[in-house]
Amino acid sequence: MAPQVLQNAFICACNMCIRGGILTLTFDEVLKRPKRGSVDEAIAELKNLLGDKVSTKPADLFSYSHDYWLITFHWLLKGKVPALPDAVVFPESEEDVVNAVRVAHEKGVPLYPYGGGSGVLGGTVPEYGGIVVDLKRLRDLRLYEDDLMVEAGAGVNGYYIEEYLNRRGYTLGHFPQSLYPSTVGGWVATKAIGQFSTRYGGIEDMVLGLRAVIPPGKLIELKPHPRTATGPDLRKLFVGSEGIFGIVTRVWLKVRPYPEERFLLSFASESLEEALDSVRRILHRGARPAVVRIYDRVETKRHFYKFEELYGKIGTVIIVEGDSRLARAEKEIVEREFKGVPAGEEPVRHWLETRFNVKEISEFAPIGVVIDTIEVAVNWSRAAELYENVIRAMKSVKGTLMASAHASHFYDQGVCFYFTFAGVPPRGRSAGEFYNAVWDAAMRATLDSGGTISHHHGIGRHRRGWLAEELGDAYEVLRKVKLAIDEKDVMNPGNMVM
């Protein structure tokens, strides 16, 4: 079922009544908490300041009640939403954002930054009511060719910025699976990473400078320098902050010349350990392929079922690109060090053609199947152990039908595993209860195996329950920094920290 059809199914499932000849929709709000602050006063003041850039229309409130957190689909099909805001603001300038933050701070009203809505952990859910700030109208762009840098408003669409750069002979090299709906501000806020990260890095490696609005309504600028030693790097404070300190409005990012040449390679291995060890050796030789993805047997069958040479094996796809001479040298290193059987270019072409396809949740949620993905990271010395432990833990939860993984991001020190599970809640257990049980099993196995509970999706409202355990005493440091910047706790309250 396509997303728009799924939404129609939701509307049919919600509560409807007619009052004074007007059709009214009412919603059950799964995560709703008591409202904070003088909401009506804040909305009235913002309408006076921003006019029609403030909306309280039911359709807008519904649209901004959720992101792409996958358990939400099961709630929507039953006429439920995570939580409704009281208003949505559509700023068109940094001054508009300053006004929104100032009013929210003065009135004690929660404020939730919103980019493309492609987050998968409930990071934008307005659980305390209040005001959602949609930043997609902040979308100006400027390229600085001599400095290999691009300046972008927080609302610039991911696909658009890459097309803009490509036409001018450059690339950002940032290709998250959410490339089409996501925004630059969302990338920074969630510490996003793209499919070509082994060469180009994550968004934290690209940010040179930024502007952000923090309480009580102050615009701050961290200028774009190649490097600066002016105390702790405050740019990093906002990268991955998920809106709990303030709202990122503008970013300066590194760009690269568009690659001169590209090589596509794939391999079939007999074991996951063999493939992992091959990639580790390649990286330790100094080569930096743009893409490396190792699929376990389940996912190789799922994604490469039409390639007989990979079926039943561990499949690996690799893309090497860049300056022609450098790319050829790296290709030679890959071919020399990878111990699997070469499987040609076609599996990689297939991956390139299908890599943004995320239709499974829309197809399976309506028939009761619960699906999600969980990305974690671990050092090389415990990589195989973590993979086995997490797969075993997810399968141990009653109702799990499938658990699999691929390794999608690589470093000199370790690897990111991207797990997928699917199942049907057993009798007497709701979709949410089953979902949480599998997640808890995976998080516990990750922590026990020496891994980190998040590699690139962030924390949001879903992972916050395990964050304190990973951070230990540093969790209180995070809380103190949050309240030092946002003393009234109006910036995305409930996200990440409680």
Looking up tokens 């300053």 gives 98
Predicted pLDDT at 26: 74
pLDDT one-digit tens code per residue, 211-257: 999 999 999 999 999 999 999 999 999 999 999 999 999 999 999 99
Determine if residue 108 is left, alpha or beta; phi over 0 gives left, psi from -120 to 50 gives alpha, anything else beta. Answer: left
CA atoms of 105 and 189, how far apart (whole Å): 20
Check residue 22 and report its DSSP letter. Answer: E
Q: 452-496 pLDDT, tens per residue?
A: 999 999 999 999 999 999 999 999 999 999 999 999 999 999 999
Question: Which residue, chain included where needed, has tokens 């990973």?
Answer: 470
d(Cα 283, Cα 393) in Å, to the nearest integer? Answer: 30
Instruction: Tell me the C-alpha distance between 127 and 82, whole Å.
Output: 7
Per-residue model confidence (pLDDT) at position 361: 73
Tell me how far apart the alpha carbons of residues 88 and 32 are, in angstroms, rounded to a whole number: 17
pLDDT beyond 50 at 497:
yes
Q: Tell the residue number behind the tokens 């006063």, with chain if given.
A: 41
Answer yes or no: is pLDDT of 434 > 50: yes
Confidence label for 14 from pLDDT (cuts 50, 70 and 90)? low
- Average pLDDT on 6-32 reads 58
Of residues 449, 389, 462, the one with CA closest to residue 419: 389
- Residues 270-314: tens digit of each pLDDT: 999 999 999 999 999 999 999 999 999 999 999 999 999 999 999
More confident residue, 366 or 216: 216
Q: Does the pLDDT value for residue 19 go beyond 60?
A: no
Q: Are 402 and 298 in contact (CB under 8 A)?
A: yes
Q: Check if the beta carbon of residue 209 is closer than 8 Å to that of residue 235.
A: yes
- Give the count of beta carbons closer than 10 Å to the beta carbon of residue 487: 11
Residue 314 — φ and ψ, nearest 5°?
-90, 115
Residue 6 scores a pLDDT above 60: no
State the pLDDT at residue 3.
35
Q: Which of these, 405, 495, 497, lies nearest to 445 by C-alpha position? A: 405
Residue ranges and CATH numbers for the domains of the chain are 141-257 (3.30.465.10), 261-354 (3.30.70.3450), 360-462 (3.30.300.330)
Main-chain dihedrals φ then ψ at residue 416, nearest 5 degrees? -100, 130
Q: Which residues contact 170 (CB under 8 A, 6 or more apart)?
A: 143, 145, 148, 150, 255, 256, 257, 258
> Does residue 371 sit in helix, strand or coil?
strand
Task: Give every strand in the sheet of 414-423, ordered side by side.
Answer: 341-342, 261-269, 314-322, 291-295, 400-410, 414-423, 370-379
pLDDT at 25 (0 to 100): 65
pLDDT digits (tens, 9 = 90+) for 86-115: 999 999 999 999 999 999 999 999 999 999
pTM over 0.85: yes
Per DSSP, 165 falls in state: H
- Bridge partners (DSSP) listed for residue 262: 321
Q: What is the pLDDT of residue 15?
A: 58
Distance CA 173, CA 259 (A): 10
Q: What is the mean pLDDT of residues 199-222?
A: 98
- Which of 175, 151, 67 is CA-nearest to residue 114? 67
Average pLDDT over residues 347-356: 96
Tell me the pLDDT tens digit for each residue of 170-182. Answer: 999 999 999 999 9
pLDDT, average across residues 6-14: 42
Cis omega (within 30 of 0) for bond into 493: no
pLDDT of residue 413: 98
Q: What percent of the chain has pLDDT over 90?
A: 92
Model pLDDT for residues 117-168, shown as the tens digit of each residue: 999 999 999 999 999 999 999 999 999 999 999 999 999 999 999 999 999 9
Average pLDDT of the chain is 94
Distance from the Cα of residue 428 to its chain's centroid:
32
Q: How confident is the model at residue 9 (pLDDT cuts 50, 70, 90)?
A: very low
